[in-house]
C-alpha cells in the first residue's frame, strides 16, 4: 500500500477512498500473460498499485511491475482507463476503494521473475485460453476487456 493511501487511512479508517492505480498486463513472446496470486485475497491478477503524490502514472506502472515481479518494463502501451461501480472494492481488511485503474500492456521487458514476498504468493504466465477463474475483483473489468480484445484480433 502506498504511503499516501496509508496516511489517508489513518485519518478516514475504512471509509471509501478514491484510489488511482497504474497496472501492467505483461505478454510474453508466446502470447501468454503474467498473473500474480495476491497474498491479501489469494486471487490472480496483474501487477499494479497506487500512484503516489506527484508521481508520473507510467512510472508508477513500471515501479509496481518491478516491485511485484522483478521485471523491468522497456516499453508500455496504454490499454485503457477503468473506473465506475464495477471498480468499487472492499479489501479483506475492510478498507473500501473506488478504483480508477490506468492499465498498460507490456511486451518488451527484462529481468528475472521473483515474487514480492509481502504481496505476491505466486507468479505464472498463462495462455489466454487458460486464465484462472479466481481473478481478483479489481482486475476483472480490465482483464476481461483485454481477453475480448485478443479474441476480436483472433490472437486467443
| Predicted confidence (pLDDT) at residue 155 exceeds the cutoff of 90 | no
Q: Which CATH number fits domain 3-153: 3.90.79.10, 3.40.190.10, 3.20.20.150, 3.30.450.20?
A: 3.90.79.10
| Predicted confidence (pLDDT) at residue 10 exceeds the cutoff of 90 | yes
pTM of the full structure: 0.94
Q: pLDDT digit string (tens) for 40-60?
A: 999 999 999 999 999 999 999
Burial of 91 (0-12, 13-18, 19+ CB in 10 A): middle
- Domain segments of the chain: what residues? 3-153
Q: pLDDT digit string (tens) for 127-150?
A: 999 999 999 999 999 999 999 999
Predicted pLDDT at 41: 95
Among 96, 102, 98, smallest CA distance to 142 is for: 102
| More confidently predicted of 97 and 153 | 97
Amino acid at each position: 500500500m502506498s504511503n499516501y493511501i496509508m496516511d489517508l487511512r489513518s485519518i478516514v479508517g475504512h471509509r471509501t477512498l478514491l484510489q488511482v492505480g497504474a497496472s501492467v498486463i505483461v505478454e510474453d513472446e508466446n502470447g501468454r500473460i503474467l498473473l500474480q496470486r495476491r497474498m491479501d485475497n489469494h486471487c490472480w491478477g496483474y501487477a499494479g498499485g497506487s500512484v503516489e503524490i506527484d508521481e508520473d502514472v507510467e512510472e508508477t506502472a513500471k515501479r509496481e511491475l518491478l516491485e511485484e515481479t522483478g521485471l523491468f518494463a522497456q516499453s508500455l502501451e496504454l490499454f485503457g482507463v477503468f473506473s465506475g461501480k464495477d471498480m468499487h472494492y472492499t479489501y479483506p481488511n475492510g478498507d473500501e476503494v473506488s478504483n480508477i485503474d490506468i492499465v498498460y500492456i507490456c511486451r518488451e521487458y527484462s529481468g528475472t521473475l521473483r515474487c514480492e514476498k509481502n504481496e505476491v504468493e505466486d507468479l505464472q504466465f498463462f495462455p489466454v485460453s487458460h486464465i484462472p477463474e479466481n481473478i481478483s475483483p479489481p482486475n476483472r473489468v480490465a482483464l476481461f476487456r483485454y481477453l475480448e480484445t485478443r479474441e476480436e484480433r483472433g490472437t486467443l
